[in-house]
Amino acid sequence: MTTENNLDLAPIRFDTKIAVLLREDLEPWQRLNVTAFLVSGLGSELPEVVGEAYEDADGVPYLPMFRQPVLIFEGTKETLRTAHTRALSRALPRALFTSDLFTTGNDRDNRAAVRAVGTGELDLVGLLVYGPRNAVDKVLKGARMHP
């Protein structure tokens, strides 16, 4: 095997990180729902995070996915509040999910529910942060990897 081929097999290290922080008291279905909603907007706003489309051996096409892992963390209500403040101060791309969104049934009502509450009063249950690895690590300080 040539050196060039060996380099192709080297682990890929990303200088960015996609991270979701979930409040530790969520039900399992809520964790999945919040995670799906939080990551859904990232690719439309930052298309560079999305890789190429997939295709199986029979030529059946599949949608492209993120080109890097999404890391899932959990923490207390206070951990989320602190992470949110840090993400804002670093101007990192972010998405949020508040407890109010569990009671709405559509996108318009979701946006209205968030808009009705001041930044410091948001009842956060989930937060997505994307950016340079070190910056995201600092935002998530105090959170732990989801079990």
pLDDT at 142: 94
d(CA 104, CA 96): 15
Mean predicted confidence (pLDDT) in 58-75: 96
Model pLDDT for residues 96-130, shown as the tens digit of each residue: 999 999 999 899 999 999 999 999 999 999 999 99
Percent of the chain exceeding pLDDT 90 equals: 86
Model pLDDT for residues 1-50, shown as the tens digit of each residue: 444 555 567 777 889 999 999 999 999 999 999 999 999 989 989 999 99
pLDDT at 12: 75
Percent of the chain exceeding pLDDT 70 equals: 95
pLDDT at 5: 54
Note the Cα 95 to chain centre separation in Å: 7
> CA-CA-CA-CA torsion for 27, 29, 32, 33, nearest 10 degrees?
-110
Contact in structure between 65 and 53 (CB atoms under 8 Å): no
Contact in structure between 125 and 117 (CB atoms under 8 Å): no
